A and B are shown apart, each in its own frame.
Chain A
Amino acid sequence: DAGVTQSPTHLIKTRGQQVTLRCSPISGHKSVSWYQQVLGQGPQFIFQYYEKEERGRGNFPDRFSARQFPNYSSELNVNALLLGDSALYLCASSLGDREAQYFGPGTRLTVL
């Protein structure tokens, strides 16, 4: 069975630009969560979606937004990129909103 997939693998943007990251959950999983992992740190929670509704939001500015589609895939959008947004963005899926989360390989975003 395919695991969580994310695209693109790597991305380079400049300050002020906008970026969209994509995630496809494990088949049958209805919940998707997004995390930001800065080099040398543990992942920080950004959002969780379950059945297309936002279930949780971390301490991130409004420049970060997300949505979940009817097929349970998800997009994370970041506007007005800052240098500090450079990180590995991880998507995790779970059967339900409180089940164990399985992570994808991540998207490495570099902001110049």
Chain B
Amino acid sequence: GEDVEQSLFLSVREGDSSVINCTYTDSSSTYLYWYKQEPGAGLQLLTYIFSNMDMKQDQRLTVLLNKKDKHLSLRIADTQTGDSAIYFCAETGPSGTYKYIFGTGTRLKVLA
């Protein structure tokens, strides 16, 4: 079935690293994505990783992909109060479809 799972909440102190985890179901997903949503706003694309990669780094963001375990993580280095938001991982749908399947989101709270 189609089910992307994320933990609901994460709280970190400003300056620490945050790690947000996600498990997905479709091994045929070509790309996996991370989006950020601030209150009352749309989704902001943060980064994405191609399924044949293990890691991707983009400034403070590091994405790790364990394809065997269908596990995706997003690490935010030097977390700031402006990083407080809901973070969604998404996988592309089964081969032949064009939809994204989103997790329920992880609410990150950064404490000053």
Contacts and interface: CB of A to CB of B under 8 A. Distances in A.
A42 B45 contact: no
Interface stretch (A67-75, A76-84, A101-109): A101-109
Contacts of B101: 45
Contacts of B92: 98
B41 A105 contact: yes
A104 B41 CA distance: 8
A3 B43 CA distance: 12
Interface residues of A, number: 25
B45 A103 contact: yes
A16 interface: no
Interface residues of B, number: 24
A56 interface: yes
Pick the most buried of B33, B92, B99: most chain A CB atoms within 10 A of its CB: B99
A106 B104 CA distance: 18
Contacts of B90: 42
Contacts, number: 58
Candidate in A4, A56, A92, A101 with the most chain B CB atoms within 10 angstroms: A101
Given A100-B31, A100-B33, A45 B42 contact: no
A45 B100 contact: yes
B41 A56 contact: no
A43 B98 contact: no
Interface string B42-68: 111100100000000000000000000
B45 A100 contact: yes
Interface in B80-112: 88, 90, 92-93, 97-105
Interface of B: 4, 30-31, 33, 35, 41-45, 48, 88, 90, 92-93, 97-105
Q: Which 4 pairs of residues, A with B, have the shortest CB-CB distance?
A: A42-B102, A45-B99, A103-B43, A103-B42
